[in-house]
Amino acid sequence: MNTHLNSKGILQTWRFVVGILLMCLSIYSPGFSSGVSGDDSHITSGEGRPPSAGKNITLEEALNSAIKNNLQLQSTQDQVDAAAGALRQSKLYPNPVLELLAEEVPTDEIGLNQSQNLVGITQPIITAGKRKLGIKLSEQSKEKSEFERDSVTLQVMTGTKKAFYKVVADQEGVTVARQIETIAKGIYESEQMRFKAGEVALPNVLRAEVELSQARNAVSLAEGNLQTSLSELQTVMGIPEDPLAGVTGRLLTTPPEVSFNDLKLAMQLNQPLIKASRKGVEMAESQLTLEKRQAIPDINVSAGYKRLTQENADTVQMGIEIPAPFFNRNQGNIQKGKALSRKAKNENQSVYNDLLLQLKRDVDSYHAERKRVAEFRDNIVPKAENSLQLIETGYKEGELTYIDLLDAQRTWAETKVSYIESLKKINLLLADIEGLAVTKIRE
């Protein structure tokens, strides 16, 4: 590039123009070589966060807060308590009916001396095992409510994990963006020095300045993404008004191999949504059996003492009331129970199919992303970092051009950003898979 500066007058003119430009630029301390280490162990949450008045939290703290403050979860617990009350009520036997009756009371004398007086008691007798079926149905309802509560708890935990891992990834994104900014500053400072020495032309300085501005914009964007993720985590935790500085954790960089068949079996055994759906089928069957038994009428047994004052005689009365099911044999409710039983079975199969499809999709995506993470971790990122270091050295020694350095820096930056996005995606997939199979994969 010195061929452009053969004339002393031209060189002075260039230097004058640069001097004017330098007055308008902010000068930063050099940091050309900073931030190009490629060790995966730095994928943590302790770096790259803007200052805040809040505190750093762990995943366990985030989960505890979310479970404690989630209103939907509290509502499902209230439903469990209500089902427990219904179960208690179903175990209570119907109250007897106490009867006090005075007949043939004379109108000319107030009192019971001339009347026929009856004291009796009537007790309903529940037949055909309907009371036992009612208790069973209440027990099943309580169990179903507990499974639904567990399902909501699992959803809250999965959502909290995903929000937490987003923050971890975005914190690392801020760190990488600042590393890119540091490199861009170093290039800019180096180009300024070389321009003053007459080794490069002004367009190189201006191009480096543009790259530095773009790097600063990338830092601002990364910090904005981090604040958005923090706000999402605060909302999931139920503390939207409490500021958080960040989180303390790490993304899993070596995801383990998983087996779809093992996960499917674990889901069938452990998934509370499936358990709740199965319990719904059991409830529908019990309800249908109960409706069929309702066709058998209950019996009212009564006994009493009757005083015949005019005859001066004491009598005892006993009776049994049995409704005759000539017209109402509960036909409509039996038909309804059959339809609801079919509906419950169809819904159970639909719930299982939907969860199985979601698990299959997540596992397939996990396998594909796992290979991508391994390629980034073992090959792409180390090679991009080695290339940047070699080209940086060659550029300092004058063997390589600014364009070579710029291309290497861009390649390294794009590689790091893509690697973080891949880690973020596989950690989110892992949270979903753990929530579906209700099993722990991450150590």
**3-state secondary structure (DSSP) of residue 320:** strand
CA distance 16 to 24: 13
Instruction: Specify the pLDDT at position 308.
Output: 75
DSSP code for 115: S
Interior angle at CA 150, CA 144 and CA 153, nearest 5: 145
CA distance 306 to 117: 5
In DSSP terms, 244 is beta-bridged to 55
Residue with tokens 């499809």: 357
CA distance 437 to 355: 9
Please report, for residues 70, 168, 244, 246, the alpha-carbon distance to residue 240 in angstroms, rounded to integers and kept in the order given: 12, 18, 10, 14
Beta strands per DSSP E along 285-362 = 299-308, 313-321
Residues 169, 149: contact at Cβ < 8 Å? no
230 in a domain, yes or no?
yes
Residues 377, 40: contact at Cβ < 8 Å? yes
CA distance 48 to 62: 20
Q: Range of 161's domain?
A: 2-437
**3-state secondary structure (DSSP) of residue 327:** coil
Sheet holding 299-308, edge to edge: 97-103, 116-125, 299-308, 313-321
Total structural domains within the chain: 1
Interior angle at CA 73, CA 69 and CA 77, nearest 5: 115
Beta strands per DSSP E along 200-329 = 244-247, 299-308, 313-321
Instruction: Specify the pLDDT at position 33.
Output: 36
φ, ψ of residue 43 in degrees (nearest 5) = -80, 70
CB-based burial, 141-162: b 16+ in 10 Å, e otherwise:
bbbbbbbbbbbbbbbbbbbbbb
**3-state secondary structure (DSSP) of residue 229:** helix
Q: Terminus-to-terminus CA distance in the chain, angstroms?
A: 56
443 in a domain, yes or no?
no
Q: Which residues contact 277 (CB under 8 A, 6 or more apart)?
A: 344, 347, 348, 351, 352
Which CATH number does the domain housing residue 423 bear?
A: 1.20.1600.10
CA distance 270 to 262: 12
In DSSP terms, 98 is beta-bridged to 121
CA 283, chain centre distance (Å): 29
Closest CA to 126 of 159, 93, 102: 93
Closest CA to 169 of 230, 212, 213: 230
**3-state secondary structure (DSSP) of residue 146:** helix
Residues 272, 438: contact at Cβ < 8 Å? yes
Count other C-beta atoms under 10 Å from residue 399's C-beta: 10
How many residues does the structure list for the chain?
A: 443
182 in a domain, yes or no?
yes
Please report, for residues 64, 133, 317, 421, the alpha-carbon distance to residue 242 in angstroms, rounded to integers and kept in the order given: 15, 50, 74, 28
Q: Chunk the chain into consecutive blocks of 10 residues (it has 443) and report each block's average pLDDT, rounded to whole numbers.
A: 41 41 38 36 40 73 94 93 95 90 66 71 90 94 96 95 95 92 86 81 85 92 94 91 86 92 95 96 95 91 81 83 88 94 95 97 96 94 91 81 82 92 95 94 78
CA distance 151 to 436: 10
DSSP code for 95: P
- Whole-prediction pTM value? 0.78
Quote the tokens at residue 29.
């301390």
Question: What DSSP string describes 403-428?
Answer: HHHHHHHHHHHHHHHHHHHHHHHHHH
Instruction: Specify the pLDDT at position 54.
Output: 64
442 in a domain, yes or no?
no
